[in-house]
């Protein structure tokens, strides 16, 4: 494995290849409902099978094990990747002998259990590859972590869905391959579902062998300052998850991730099944998805160097909701238009737009996660954010599918999409300011402050403590005195920008470390009063002020507190 931090082609090729393997498993899993629908499965059956995807929502439980426990001589990531890939290949190969019987007999529960295991292994692989991507791209270009994931998983999903459905179809292969080549018609496609699953199993085994032979992993994790990061123990890693959950910024992004999918789960999960129910064949749907997938492969390159990923997420979210209704209406009228010459070209355009926006939405979300993640617990950190996002998607999609089963069959799809889009717009109108505030936070605000335990006491590192001392001693001189003078100045707007920037970069750090700093020193009374002083001028209060009269009142209170402190 390359040890340099440049965005080298070998790093990109490695991560994309591993993400392709994930994508093939996920694409195969998403294709199973299309086979089930052909044999009479309902929305309820689809909702039941949706539980197979839940390991992506639970992987945080075992992610610290993957991040911390490893054979140093073998490599942090290879220690887990090799056995996971081998087991995945073995499970897939075994499943291939029974899959056709389970689908024909509508054995939804057994299929759900088996693919739950497959997705569990895929989710575990995802933890390894996410941590690997953070290690490789943290310094050079964090956005490549999301770009590699988007490209690799998209292409893998294409192989596991569109490619499979197209060439597994006897009608397609007879008409477009065998007939032009003057070959006799067959009752099967170029390959069956069984053959494809065996092919995927062999691909896992080949990549595993190549990983063992050609990849040499050298552990070299850097922190945000470019210094070698300290490896955490298993207990420290689990404690770090608890500490992350205690941070307000993590709590806010968690709420966003849990609720935001309500706006787009209906259009994503129900559209392929609705098209088949409306008369579109599996092979035609697969052909339609080919240009759609090509667009999805190119799309992530648009934002591979884009900063402020969360701002882009907000823009793409609104666009995705706006496009949902026209697509839903078009799908609803499929039976009356499917025989016309314009139906499939327009459908391709609508689905391509949908996939274009969806891929940008996904890439911007992962890009934001990569930009704020803490490298020394990179796999666990990315897994935490991804787990919350996956849980939000899984819960919302299950709820939508079960609810759709209760709606009138003729109007279930368009009703579900309409209600889902409305709820998404309602959520966005209430949360857009929160998204903007989260984007403005510096990366250090998302990290866990380093601690050193001496005789059971919790203290800051010496360098951080000196830095905090400087902040406390100079905060009045730099902020309060200057701000008071600015109240009489004609250049209020310009100075207000300076103060906002200072508070954005410095004051948030002070607020985050006040409790630890107070515990580490004896002058608790002084620091408590000082913390009161600082809390009077928080960034959000400054930003929300409409005039400087309020600030003048705050400064008067601050001066009185200072007089008490220095007497």
pLDDT in tens, 466-486: 454 554 444 444 445 544 444
At 151, is the pLDDT very low, low, confident or very high (cuts 50, 70, 90)?
confident
**Is 350:327 a contact under the CB 8 Å cutoff?**
yes
Tell me: pLDDT of 211 over 60. Answer: yes
Share of residues in the chain with pLDDT > 90 (%): 28
84 versus 315: which is more confidently predicted?
A: 84
pLDDT of 72-102, one tens digit each?
Answer: 888 888 889 999 999 999 999 999 999 999 9
Residue 130: the pLDDT is: 79
Burial pattern 438-459, b for ≥16 Cβ within 10 A else e, equals bbbbeeebbbbeeeeeeeeeeb
How many secondary structure helices (H) and strands (E) does the chain include?
27, 2
Residue 463: the pLDDT is: 47
Which residue, chain included where needed, has tokens 């595993």?
208
Tell me: pLDDT of 531 over 50. Answer: no
324 versus 56: which is more confidently predicted?
A: 324
Lowest-confidence range among 17-21, 94-98, 230-234, 345-349? 230-234
Residue 418: the pLDDT is: 93
Which residue, chain included where needed, has tokens 């903007």?
436
Residue 195: the pLDDT is: 94
297 versus 33: which is more confidently predicted?
A: 33
Distance of CA 548 to the CA centre of its chain: 41
pLDDT, mean of residues 17-27: 94
101 versus 507: which is more confidently predicted?
A: 101
**Global confidence as pTM:** 0.66
How would you class 477 by CB atoms within 10 Å of its CB: exposed for 0-12, middle for 13-18, buried for 19 or more?
A: exposed
Tell me: pLDDT of 555 over 70. Answer: no
- How far apart CA 470 and CA 7 sit, in angstroms, is 37
Tell me: pLDDT of 24 over 90. Answer: yes
Q: Within 10 A of 433 (CB to CB), how many other CB atoms are there? A: 9
How would you class 560 by CB atoms within 10 Å of its CB: exposed for 0-12, middle for 13-18, buried for 19 or more?
A: exposed
DSSP-based three-state secondary structure for 310: helix
Residue 521 DSSP label: S
pLDDT of 423-463, one tens digit each?
Answer: 999 999 998 888 888 888 887 788 876 554 433 334 444 44
Tell me: pLDDT of 201 over 90. Answer: yes
């Amino acid at each position: 494995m390359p040890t340099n931090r440049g965005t080298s082609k070998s790093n990109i090729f490695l991560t994309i290849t591993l993400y392709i393997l994930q994508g093939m498993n996920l694409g195969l899993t998403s294709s199973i409902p299309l086979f089930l629908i052909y044999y009479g499965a309902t929305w309820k059956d689809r909702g039941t099978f949706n539980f197979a995807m839940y390991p992506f929502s639970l992987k945080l439980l075992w992610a610290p094990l993957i991040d911390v426990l490893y054979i140093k001589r073998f490599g942090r990531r290879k220690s887990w990747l090799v056995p996971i890939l081998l087991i995945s290949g073995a499970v897939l190969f075994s499943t291939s002998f029974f899959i056709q019987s389970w689908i024909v007999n509508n054995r939804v529960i057994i299929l759900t259990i088996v693919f739950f295991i497959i997705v569990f292994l895929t989710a575990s692989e995802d933890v390894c590859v996410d941590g690997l991507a953070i290690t490789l791209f943290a310094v050079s270009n964090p956005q490549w972590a999301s770009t590699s994931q988007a490209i690799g998983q998209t292409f893998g999903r294409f192989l596991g869905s569109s490619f499979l459905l197209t060439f597994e179809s006897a009608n397609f292969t007879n008409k477009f391959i065998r007939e032009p080549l003057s070959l006799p018609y067959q009752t099967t496609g170029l390959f069956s579902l069984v053959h494809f699953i065996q092919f995927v199993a062999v691909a896992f085994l080949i990549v595993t062998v190549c990983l063992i032979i050609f990849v040499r992993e050298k552990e070299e994790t850097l922190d945000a300052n470019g210094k070698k990061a300290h490896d955490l123990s298993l207990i420290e890693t689990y404690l770090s998850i608890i500490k992350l959950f205690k941070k307000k910024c993590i709590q806010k992004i968690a709420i966003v991730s849990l609720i935001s999918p309500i706006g787009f789960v209906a259009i994503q999960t129900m559209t392929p099944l609705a098209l088949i129910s409306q008369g579109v064949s599996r092979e035609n749907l697969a052909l339609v998805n080919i240009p759609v997938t090509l667009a999805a492969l190119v799309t992530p390159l648009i934002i591979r160097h884009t900063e402020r990923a969360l701002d882009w997420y907000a823009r793409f979210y609104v666009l995705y909701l706006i496009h949902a209704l026209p697509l839903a209406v078009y799908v609803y009228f499929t039976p009356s238009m499917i025989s016309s010459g314009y139906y499939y070209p327009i459908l391709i355009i609508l689905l391509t737009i949908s996939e274009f926006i969806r891929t940008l939405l996904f890439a911007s979300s992962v890009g934001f996660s990569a930009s704020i993640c803490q490298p020394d617990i990179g796999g666990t950190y990315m897994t935490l954010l991804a787990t919350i996002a996956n849980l939000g998607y899984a819960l919302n999609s299950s709820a939508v599918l079960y609810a759709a089963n209760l709606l009138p069959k003729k109007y279930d799809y368009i009703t579900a999409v309409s209600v889902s889009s409305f709820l998404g717009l309602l959520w966005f109108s209430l949360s857009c300011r929160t998204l903007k505030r989260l984007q403005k936070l510096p990366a250090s605000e998302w990290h866990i402050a380093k601690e050193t335990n001496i005789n059971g006491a919790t203290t800051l590192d010496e360098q951080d403590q000196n830095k905090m001392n400087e902040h406390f001693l100079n905060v009045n001189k730099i902020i309060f005195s200057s701000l008071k003078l600015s109240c009489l100045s004609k250049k209020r707007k310009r100075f207000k920008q300076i103060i906002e920037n200072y508070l954005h970069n410095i004051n948030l750090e002070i607020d985050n470390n006040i409790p630890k700093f107070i515990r580490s020193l004896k002058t608790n009374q002084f620091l408590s009063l000082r913390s009161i002083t600082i809390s009077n001028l928080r960034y959000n209060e400054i930003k929300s002020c409409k005039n400087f009269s309020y600030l003048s009142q705050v400064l008067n209170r601050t001066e009185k507190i200072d007089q008490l402190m220095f007497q």
